[in-house]
């Protein structure tokens, strides 16, 4: 087994298990912590895929900013544990069975279509695609318009969050 495959299996196992644990824990804080673990293992997978820039941004933005926001809100509101989940366990099992079936279908589609055969995976091209330089060049030339639109999106979201969360305007 090559080192790459070994690392992939480790990160993938952590990501999958922490995902499952996230949606099954009844304590909200535990769920949030498992999500952080999941996001961190994804950063490892991005490194395996030669996407250095995205791996770093993943840690900084997701684990560093978004999840901290989630944890702050959880601490602020102190939600009680969910009781209702156990009460309707029939629906729950049903949902999981459906999910498993859909997953089998998705995996079938993926394996059937053999995406690997159509792609000539060239390691140099892949490494070059993941650098800050190539992403930055694309971002500030071809994709300048979505970049500006994303700026307006953040402005709207900031204004919106302030409007909703502020208790009273003086």
Partner 1 sequence: MNVDYLVNSLYLIKPELAIASALVLLVLIDLIMGNNKKFLPYVAIAGLIAAAYFIIGQFGMNSLAFVSKSNKGMIIADPFGAFFKGIVVFASLFVVYFSIKSDEIKASFERHGEYYTLIFGMILGMFFMISASDLILIYISLELVSFSSYVLAGFTKTALRNSEAALKYVIYGGVSSGIMLFGISILYGITGSTNLYEINSLIQSSSIPNLTFILSGILIFVGIGYKISAAPFHFWTPDVYEGAPITITAFLSVASKAAGFALLIRFIKITFIKSVDSAGYWQLVDLIDWKTFFIFLSIITMTLGNFAALWQDNLKRMLAYSSIAHAGYLLLGMAVLSNQGMIAIIIYFAVYAITNLGAFFVVMLIANKIGSENIDDYKGLGYSQPFLGVSLAIFLISLTGLPPTAGFIGKLYLFIALVDAKMITLAVIALLNSVVALYYYIRVLKNLFLSRPANGTFEFKVSFSNGLVLVLLAAPIIILGIYFTPLVDLAKNSMQILGF
Partner 2 sequence: MHVPIEYFLVLSAFMFITGVAGVLTRRNAIVIFMSVELMLNSANLTLVTFSSYIGNPVGQLFVFFVMTVAAAEAAVGLAIIIALFRNKQTMNVDEINILKW
Residue 92 token pair = 């729950």
For position 145 contacting partner 1 by CB under 8 A, the verdict is yes
Q: 3-state DSSP call for residue 120? A: coil
Residue 87 token pair = 């009460």
Interface residue with partner 1, options 109, 116, 120, 124 (CB under 8 A)? 109
CB 25 within 8 A of CB 106: no
- The entry of partner 1, partner 2, none that residue 17 binds, CB within 5 to 8 Å by partner kind: none
For position 169 contacting partner 1 by CB under 8 A, the verdict is yes
CB atoms within 10 A of CB 90: 8
Binding mask 35-54 for partner 1 (x = CB under 8 A): --------------------
For position 150 contacting partner 2 by CB under 8 A, the verdict is yes
For position 22 contacting partner 2 by CB under 8 A, the verdict is yes
Give 41: exposed, middle or buried? Use CB within 10 Å, 0-12, 13-18, 19+: buried
CB proximity list for 12: less than 8 A, separation 6 or greater? 41, 45
For position 140 contacting partner 2 by CB under 8 A, the verdict is no
Which residues between 78 and 107 bind partner 1 (CB under 8 A)? 106
Interface ranges with partner 1 (CB under 8 A): 106, 109-110, 112-115, 141-146, 148-150, 152-153, 155-157, 159-164, 169-170
């Amino acid at each position: 087994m090559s080192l790459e495959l070994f690392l992939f299996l480790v990160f993938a196992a952590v990501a999958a298990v922490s995902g499952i644990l996230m949606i099954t824990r009844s304590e909200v804080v535990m769920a949030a912590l498992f999500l952080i673990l999941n996001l961190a293992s994804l950063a490892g997978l991005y490194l395996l895929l030669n996407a250095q820039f995205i791996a770093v941004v993943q840690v900084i933005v997701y684990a560093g900013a978004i999840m901290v926001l989630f944890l702050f809100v959880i601490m602020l509101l102190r939600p009680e544990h969910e009781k209702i989940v156990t009460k309707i366990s029939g629906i729950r099992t049903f949902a999981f069975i459906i999910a498993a079936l859909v997953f089998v279908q998705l995996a079938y589609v993926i394996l059937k279509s053999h995406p690997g055969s159509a792609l000539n995976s060239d390691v140099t091209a892949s490494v070059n695609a993941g650098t800050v330089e190539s992403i930055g060049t694309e971002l500030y030339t071809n994709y300048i318009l979505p970049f500006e639109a994303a700026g307006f999106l953040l402005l709207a979201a900031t204004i919106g969050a302030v409007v909703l969360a502020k208790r009273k305007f003086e």
